[in-house]
């Protein structure tokens, strides 16, 4: 209880008692405040976690809700990381304050249930010496009742080992000829790096975008001297070894009825300076319309963006191409220039972006008075396009026929109405109106935009190709540029393998290690067994057989 100034004690003993009471009250108040702050931090972290879970579930069930969804989830994950860290700090502060004030109970945060460790994880058992006498009476007649086990996850620095393969020589006493077992197989000619280590180097370079010079520095810090030239030599041998798999994936991709195509920039070193090259990707993904074919992606590199590049890539393809309105694709759609023309299906995400930039309310709020006014026509166009996307989310993963029926029933009236509305609005606009550009972008290609209504295989967006390029856009900041055109081609080969493995939910590094260990011994007729989807299927079958045998 706090004393008023007039109630201060006059004698020393009473003053000491009052001071102790004041201190106890202050420590109790601090403990309560710390406990409340810890609860608040824990609640904020819980809310952020639930919001992140909701967004991930929406994306998993309905597909990408908008162009910003992926970045939004990343931002939410970073926010959750910060909030959980803050909540843990506040929990410790509340526990320290509660220890001083014995009347306040310490807060213990509820944490998610930990998943069990993998069965094949290495385990070390440490047994603490049991007491020799009873801690209560000092008796020595102790009998074991049981044990409590505390599990702690610990890291062992990456370990390297040298495998010594001994080949004994024998000489024949009859003919004098020397006999010896053949030399062991190496993943690379004259190589001294095992398939697991080579897979790690390849995956870190092309999958995690860690340049070889940084890998060499890391190896040296771990006590292994692998110079840049050595690593580069091994990468060259490794990428050459997997070239047959690249060709199989390439054939699988272009055998599709429908492809997603897109490209992104990369810098390529040429004649002492960097030029702006391109990485092209073509993705086969039939999962949106319940197709049985496994997904795959193929990449190519070029030193420029001339139209002859995609025309060469797609020379033998005659299906549906989902893409943006790049003029280099147009000869592929012309029956007079291509014997088997491709049917274009343009991306509504690209079309929506033109309207959205003129109707971005959040950007307008950030810019304040300096920003451009919101375009009512663009805002209405975004609303109409979002209605089409809402229908698509509901039928994602359904069969092609079912998707076509739903589109004819629900999407076609909306699209026809939007077509008439765009024509009407265009007539009322001046030639200088900014919203005229995205309107013409759609109206000039309306038949190709509307093709999805009559074909359930077509998606509304080209997001599959854009997702395949996202890693390159993020990773090129690390490696800055490709050292040459050959280097860019090599990156395209390895990206084809790694992305295809990821599309099939296969661990790329484990798969590459097994491929490098086996590919030289497999006849060409069985190379298909190493394709990611076949490799995963055969591995599951072997696991089931082993379990049944056990």
pLDDT category, 67, cuts 50, 70, 90? very low
Count other C-beta atoms under 10 Å from residue 382's C-beta.
19
3-class SS at 155? Answer: coil
Q: pLDDT band for position 88 (50/70/90)?
A: low
Region 435-455: what's the mean pLDDT? 93
* pLDDT tens by residue, 298-312: 999 998 889 899 999
- The continuous run of DSSP H or E covering 320 comes out as strand 320-323
Give the position of tokens 């290609």.
Answer: 445
> What's the whole-number mean pLDDT along residues 307-324?
92
Q: Which helix (H) or strand (E) holds 250?
A: helix 243-254
Q: List all residues 6 or more positions away from 453 whose beta carbon is below 8 Å from its beta carbon.
A: 404, 407, 408, 411, 412, 415
- pLDDT at 246 (0 to 100): 95
Over the stretch 238-266, which tens digit does the pLDDT of each residue have? 888 899 999 999 999 999 999 999 999 88
* Lowest mean pLDDT segment, chosen from 116-120, 199-203, 224-228, 523-527: 116-120
Over the stretch 116-137, which tens digit does the pLDDT of each residue have? 777 777 888 888 888 888 888 8
Where residue 63 falls among pLDDT bands split at 50, 70, 90?
Answer: low
Which among 309, 324, 327, 320 is positioned nearest to 342, based on CA atoms? 320
* pLDDT tens-digit readout, 467-498: 999 888 777 776 666 667 778 888 899 999 99
Helix, strand, coil in percent for the chain, rounding step 5:
55, 10, 35
Split at pLDDT 50, 70, 90, the class of 296 is very high
At 155, is the pLDDT very low, low, confident or very high (cuts 50, 70, 90)? Answer: low
Angle between helices 436-443 and 376-395 (to 10 degrees): 40
Tokens of 537: 């299927």
% of the chain beyond a pLDDT of 70: 82
Residue 258: DSSP 8-state: E
User: What is the average pLDDT value for the chain, to the nearest integer?
Assistant: 82
pLDDT tens-digit profile of 158-202?
A: 788 888 888 888 888 888 888 888 877 676 666 678 888 899 999
Three-class secondary structure assignment of 265-302: EEEEEECCEEEEEEEEEEEECCHHHCCCCCCEEEEEEE
Query: 185 in helix, strand or coil?
Result: coil
Give the residue-averaged pLDDT of 210-227.
85
Residue 159 CA to residue 170 CA, distance in Å, equals 35
Share of the chain above pLDDT 90, in %: 35
- Maximal CA-CA distance, the chain: 120
Confidence of residue 77 (pLDDT cuts 50, 70, 90): low
Considering only residues 465 and 57, tell me which one the structure prediction assigns the higher pLDDT: 465
Strands (E), 339-494: 343-346
In this prediction, residue 114 carries a pLDDT of 59
CB 301 within 8 A of CB 491: yes
- Could you give the CA distance from residue 365 to residue 42 in angstroms, rounded to a whole number? 31
Q: Is the dihedral of CA 226, 229, 231, 237 positive or negative?
A: negative
pTM score, whole prediction: 0.75
Is the model's pLDDT at 98 over the cut of 90? no
Of 259-273, 326-340, 435-449, 511-525, the poorest mean pLDDT is in 259-273
- What phi and psi values does residue 515 have, to the nearest 5 degrees? -65, -45
- Calculate the CA 254 to chain-centre distance: 24
Q: Is residue 39 over pLDDT 80?
A: no
Nearest to 384 by CA among 445, 434, 449: 449
Question: Which pLDDT value is given to residue 65?
Answer: 47
Higher local confidence (pLDDT), 457 or 167 = 457
Pairing assessment for the beta strands 273-284 and 320-323 based on DSSP bridges: unpaired
Of 148-162, 240-254, 423-437, 462-476, the range with the highest mean pLDDT is: 240-254
pLDDT above 80 (res 406): yes
Most confident of 11-20, 134-143, 245-254: 245-254
Rg (CA), the chain: 33
Q: Domain residues of the chain, as ranges?
A: 26-100, 247-469
| Confidence (pLDDT) at 61 | 58
When mean pLDDT is compared across 15-19, 241-245, 385-389, 437-441, the lowest value belongs to 15-19
pLDDT at residue 515, as a whole number: 93
């Amino acid at each position: 209880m706090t004393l008023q100034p007039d109630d201060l004690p006059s004698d020393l003993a009473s003053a000491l008692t009052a001071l102790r009471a004041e201190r106890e009250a202050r420590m109790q108040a601090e403990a309560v405040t710390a406990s409340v702050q810890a609860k608040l931090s824990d609640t904020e972290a819980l809310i952020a976690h639930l919001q992140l879970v909701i967004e991930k579930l929406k994306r998993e069930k309905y597909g990408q809700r908008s162009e910003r969804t992926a970045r939004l989830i990343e931002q939410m994950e970073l926010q959750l990381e910060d909030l959980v860290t803050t909540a843990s700090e506040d929990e410790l502060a509340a526990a320290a304050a509660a220890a001083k004030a014995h009347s306040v109970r310490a807060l213990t945060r509820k944490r998610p249930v930990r998943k069990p460790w993998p069965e094949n994880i290495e385990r070390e058992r440490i047994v603490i010496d049991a007491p020799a006498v009873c801690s209560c009476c000092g008796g020595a007649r102790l009998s074991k009742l049981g044990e409590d086990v505390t599990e702690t996850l610990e890291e062992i620095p990456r370990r390297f080992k040298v495998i010594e393969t001994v080949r004994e020589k024998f000489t024949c006493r009859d003919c004098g000829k020397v006999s010896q077992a053949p030399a062991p197989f190496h993943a690379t000619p004259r190589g001294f790096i095992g398939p697991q280590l080579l897979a790690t180097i390849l995956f870190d370079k092309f999958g995690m975008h860690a340049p070889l010079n940084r890998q060499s520095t890391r190896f040296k810090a771990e006590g292994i001297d692998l110079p840049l030239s050595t690593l580069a030599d091994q990468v060259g041998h490794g990428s050459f070894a997997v070239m047959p798999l690249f060709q199989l994936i390439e054939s699988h991709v272009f055998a599709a009825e429908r492809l997603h195509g897109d490209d992104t920039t990369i810098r390529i070193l040429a004649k002492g300076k960097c030029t702006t090259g391109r990485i092209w990707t073509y993705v086969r993904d039939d999962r949106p319309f319940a197709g049985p074919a496994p997904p795959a992606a193929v990449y190519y590199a070029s030193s420029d963006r001339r139209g002859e590049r995609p025309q060469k890539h797609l020379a033998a393809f005659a299906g549906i191409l989902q893409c943006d309105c790049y003029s280099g694709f147009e000869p592929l759609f012309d029956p007079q220039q291509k014997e088997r023309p491709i049917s274009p299906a343009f991306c509504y995400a690209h079309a929506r972006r033109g309207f959205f930039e003129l109707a971005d309310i959040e950007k307008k709020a950030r810019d304040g008075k300096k920003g451009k006014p919101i375009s009512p026509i663009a805002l209405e166009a975004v609303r109409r396009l979002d209605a089409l996307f809402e229908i698509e989310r509901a039928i994602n993963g359904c069969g092609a026929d079912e998707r076509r029926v739903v589109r004819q029933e629900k999407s076609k009236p909306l699209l026809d109405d939007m077509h008439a509305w765009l024509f009407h609005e265009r007539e009322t606009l001046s030639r200088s109106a900014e919203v005229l550009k995205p309107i013409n972008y759609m109206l000039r290609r309306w038949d190709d935009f509307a093709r999805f209504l009559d074909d359930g295989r077509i998606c509304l967006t080209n997001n599959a190709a854009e997702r395949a390029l996202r890693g390159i856009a993020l990773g090129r900041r690390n490696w800055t540029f490709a050292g040459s055109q050959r280097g860019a081609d090599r990156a395209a080969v390895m990206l084809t393998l790694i992305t295809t493995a990821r599309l099939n939910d296969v661990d790329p590094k484990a798969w590459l290690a097994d491929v490098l260990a086996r590919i030289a011994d497999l006849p060409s007729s069985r190379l298909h067994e190493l394709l990611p989807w076949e490799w995963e299927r055969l591995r599951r079958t072997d696991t089931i057989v082993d379990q049944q045998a056990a």
